[in-house]
Structure 1
Amino acid sequence: MTAQPPDPDPSRTPDLEPGGGVPPGSTPPDSAQTSGLSHPQPMPSKTMPVLWLVVTGVLVLMVAALIVSLAVGWLNV
């Protein structure tokens, strides 16, 4: 194995007590970071949210028109 492990060697870590703890006031060394994005993420399209808002608005207007037409029909105005 040629790659080094990301965590420090416990036998060479200063102030490390048996069992892996550290005394008060000491902090163990950090591990290497391997997380993150490899390339920029594409921007999501704005077309679908706008389309859904328009479709929802049309449906709301159709239901409101139906309710008004039913109310006018029942009242015989």
Structure 2
Amino acid sequence: MSAKPPDPEPDATADLEPGGGVPPGGTPPDSGQTSGLSHPQPMPSKAVPVTTLVVVAILTLMVAALIFALAFGWLGV
């Protein structure tokens, strides 16, 4: 392998004290961070999830009724 490791050699690192410590002022200051949203996000509509749940519940009840009717032979199929 001819590629060098990504970490620098500890002996060649600037401002490194014996034992691995760094003197005060030897590290750059933390960078500023930006987080959060610049504008409040609109609330999503609750109609779509409620409608979906109602449709799924109705379909589930219809399938359950069909299986029940087939099990007791009420459909004459």
> Which bin holds the TM-score, normalised by the shorter protein?
0.5 to 0.7
Structure 2 gaps of 5+ residues are 1-12
Q: CA–CA distance in 2 between the matches of 1:19 and 1:69?
A: 82
Q: Percent identity?
A: 64
Q: Which has the higher contact order (CA 8 A, sep 6+)?
A: 1
Q: CA RMSD in A?
A: 3.5
Deviation at 1:35, TM superposition (A): 3.3
Q: CA–CA distance in 2 between the matches of 1:39 and 1:55?
A: 34
Q: Which portions of structure 1, spanning 4 or more consecutive aligned residues, are displaced by more than 6 angstroms? A: 19-22, 24-27
Q: Which residue of 2 aligns with 1:33?
A: 33
- The 3-state SS of whatever aligns with 1:45 is coil
Deviation at 1:51, TM superposition (A): 0.6
Alpha-carbon spacing, 1:44–1:22, altered in 2? closer, same or farther (3 Å):
farther
* TM-score between the two structures when normalised by the length of structure 2: 0.58
Alpha-carbon spacing, 1:22–1:37, altered in 2? closer, same or farther (3 Å):
farther
Q: How many residues are paired up?
A: 59
1:63 maps to a residue whose letter is V
Alpha-carbon spacing, 1:69–1:30, altered in 2? closer, same or farther (3 Å):
same
